[in-house]
Structure 1
Amino acid sequence: MTLPVGVAALFAAFPGLPLQSKGSPLDPVLAPIYALLDLWSLLLGALGDATGIGLLQYGFMHRAILVGLCIGVMAPLIGTFLVHRQLALIGDALAHTAFAGVAVGLFLNGVLSLGVSPYLTAVVVAVLAALLIEVISETTDAYNDVSMAIVLSTGFALGTVLISLNAGGLAVGINQYLFGNLATVSAENAAILLVLFGIIVATVALTRNQLLYVTFDETAAEVSGISVAWYNRVMVMLTALVVVGAMQIMGVILVAAMLVVPVAGAAQVSRSFTGSLLISVVLAELAVLLGIGAAYYGEATAGGVIVLVAVAIYVAAVVVGKLLSARGDDAAPELGSIETGESGSSATSD
């Protein structure tokens, strides 16, 4: 494989970097990101040697930590909008359809030997499912929760059918997609996650004001000329990308927790939307790092440990919020009422 000039220069500057690609068809496209992953691994390895921390001695943990750090940013970034729009359960629906996407990828690899990444097919299927949820809500009389239930059931049914066919050993290793696994975060999957991370952060940065307006007052947003339907679709598509990215270490069953629990905790101690967003990222990062460490040393499933840590942090945030309220501090709002930070006004998510 011929490396781009910038990537080749990076390897010339750090001759000890091993290229982490594994002969995937995506290697030429992801080569610059592989180089960054190798540099990240080199830095964490050096930190592990200097500190004697065991989990920093392994390449798969380097990738898992990086993926966790990205999840700790992008999940609350999108989850904050979802929680205040009362769409917290959409993560579950899209996680189950992402599982169907994984099954499609495994099926194509087993039957047609395409060599496509199951996480890449999961991205495509999850995004299509997200759009389908919106289409069902807009074109029928069904409420959002009904459309989510329909898509969730359909997606998981499709996934289980494809898995049950067992074509080419399809059922092998499926537990890693259901429950997540630190050891199976490959270089290719980590690189795909970094691409998704960039797309999510850039999109939210460019459309923050519109998304905020639609979140708190759809009617006023429509009157002001904002295409509410379009930004609703943007939000659900971003949610699909977060779900697929987080599925690597959280698994299908627990992935939605990172969209909701840190945001709910942050809402206990912050009144402004921006403050809630920032605090939720901090809480999510704390849950991810502590959870990964505890899972590694306790030899437990990472997704479950991370969620338990996140819930413990949420409980602590509730206690802090109650103490602040008892002292008459205005920093502890109700979840349904939070200041947007725009023009000093307050809006509700009802």
Structure 2
Amino acid sequence: MSLPPALTLVVAFVAEMLGYPFMQRAFVAGVCIAVVAPLVGSFLIHRQLAMIGDTLAHTAFAGVAVGLFLSSLLETPVSPSLTALVVAVVGALLIQTLSEYTDVYNDVSMVVVLTGGFAVGTILISLTGGGIAVGINQYLFGSLSTITRGDVELLVALSALVVAVVLVSYRPLVFVTFDEAAARVGGVDVRWTNRLLVVLTALVVVGAMQMLGVILVAAMLVVPVAAATQVARSFKQSLVLAVVAAQVAVLAGTTLSYAYGVATGGTIVVVAIGVYAGAVSLTLLGRR
């Protein structure tokens, strides 16, 4: 039994696309990102911390610059992903510490860390006479072709860790997210839970950075969750729908990026925004 011509073309296209190892790695990476980003982003959105993803992305940029700078200085390969992970986690803890021990609000501490991280990155670029700028560009804008097997393995490991931690810490995370004062009275270690959340955010940001780029990585923490909250009736339902929306954005965006030769990160984010617009439209129609 032969397939219809249109379906035959689709099957041939998918087979060709998945025949390339770099596309296989891209889809594995994308699926992982589409699980952990909305999973963590759901807690951030309800705590009005949507901008922390952008802050830690720019902080991770400094970590990438550190890795490339050390590679240039020591003439020994240093993984930019690992240095970005270390710097992003330190930045996340610094944001939380500034909020806990100083009089500044969360948005002020985020601005301090964001601008400081980006400033360090630009200083390191200038110290090499711009020599590491080419290597940094792929992290700024994202790239499919530069994702290695090692990058995918690191992302899978980080994703498994994030999912496991969220499952184990789900109740205190939800409690602190919706009523921090009651959580404190109920014996929840609010300070530890807040630090855990920002560290999880740092792990997600670094994991997604190479595919989406520093400039766009925060979108996957926010946009799918925003779409889900338009139609969800509970927080758990919102989590599930946010992951579904993110999967649609990643799979469709990556496919369109390959088909038309356009930037992957930008295409994924545009599709995610389209999903959000669709959810908003459904909500408005339902009200009418």
Same fold (TM over 0.5): yes
Counterpart in 1 of 2:86? 124
Q: Residue in 2 aligned with 1:172?
A: 134
CA offsets 1:246-283 (integer angstroms, 9 cap, x no match): 10111000000000000000000012000000000000
Within-5 A mapping of 1:256-271:
256-271=218-233
> Contact 2:94–2:113 (CA<8 Å) still a contact in 1?
yes
Is 1:53 matched with 2:15? yes
Q: Which amino acid aligns with 1:314?
A: Y
Task: Tell me if the contact between 2:64 and 2:136 (Cα under 8 Å) persists in the aligned partners.
Answer: no
List gaps (5 residues or longer) in structure 1: 1-47, 327-350
- Equivalent residue, structure 1, for 2:3: none
Task: Tell me how far 1:169 sits from its aligned partner.
Answer: 3.3
Is 1:189 equivalent to 2:151 in the alignment?
yes
Correspondence 1:1-350 to 2 at 5 A? 53-166=15-128, 169-326=131-288
Unpaired runs of at least 5, structure 2: 1-9
Q: Percent identity?
A: 58
CA RMSD of aligned residues (A): 1.5
State the distance in 1 between where 2:144 and 2:259 align: 12
**TM-score, with normalisation over the residues of structure 2?**
0.94
2:7 alignment partner in structure 1: none
Structure 2: how far apart are the matches of 1:224 and 1:212? Answer: 13
SS of the residue 1:241 aligns to:
helix
What's the offset of the Cα at 1:57?
1.5
Q: Which amino acid aligns with 1:99?
A: F
Query: Aligned partners of 2:61 and 2:181: how far apart in 1?
Result: 35
CA distance in 1 between counterparts of 2:261 and 2:123 reads 31
Counterpart Cα distance in 1 of 2:129 and 2:189: 44
1:225 aligned counterpart, secondary structure = coil
The structure that has the greater radius of gyration is 1
- Contact in 2 for aligned 1:179/1:250 (Cα 8 Å): yes
Name the structure where helix makes up a greater proportion of residues.
2
CA-to-aligned-CA distance 1:114-133 (integer Å, 9 cap, x gap): 32210011000000000000
Distance 1:271 1:91 in 2: 25
Instruction: Give the TM-score of the pair, scaled to structure 1.
Output: 0.78
Instruction: Please give the alpha-carbon distance, in whole angstroms, between the structure 2 residues aligned to 1:79 and 1:266.
Output: 11
The separation in 2 between residues aligned to 1:285 and 1:168, in whole angstroms, is 37
The 1:52/1:242 distance shift into structure 2, 3 A limit, reads closer
Name which structure has the greater RCO, CA cutoff 8 Å, separation 6+: 2
Deviation at 1:49, TM superposition (A): 9.0
| Aligned AA (2:40) | I
- Give me the whole-angstrom Cα distance separating, in 2, the residues matched to 1:52 and 1:317: 28
CA shift for structure 1 position 167: 6.4
CA contact (8 A) 1:104 1:162 kept: yes
CA distance in 2, matches of 1:283, 1:83: 15
Q: Give the letter for the 1:56 counterpart.
A: L
In the TM superposition, what whole-angstrom CA distance separates every residue of 1:138-166 from its partner, at most 9, and x where no partner exists?
11110000000000000000011111222
Alpha carbons 2:172, 2:193 under 8 Å: kept:
yes
Which region of structure 1 is more displaced relative to structure 2, 185-194 or 165-174?
Answer: 165-174
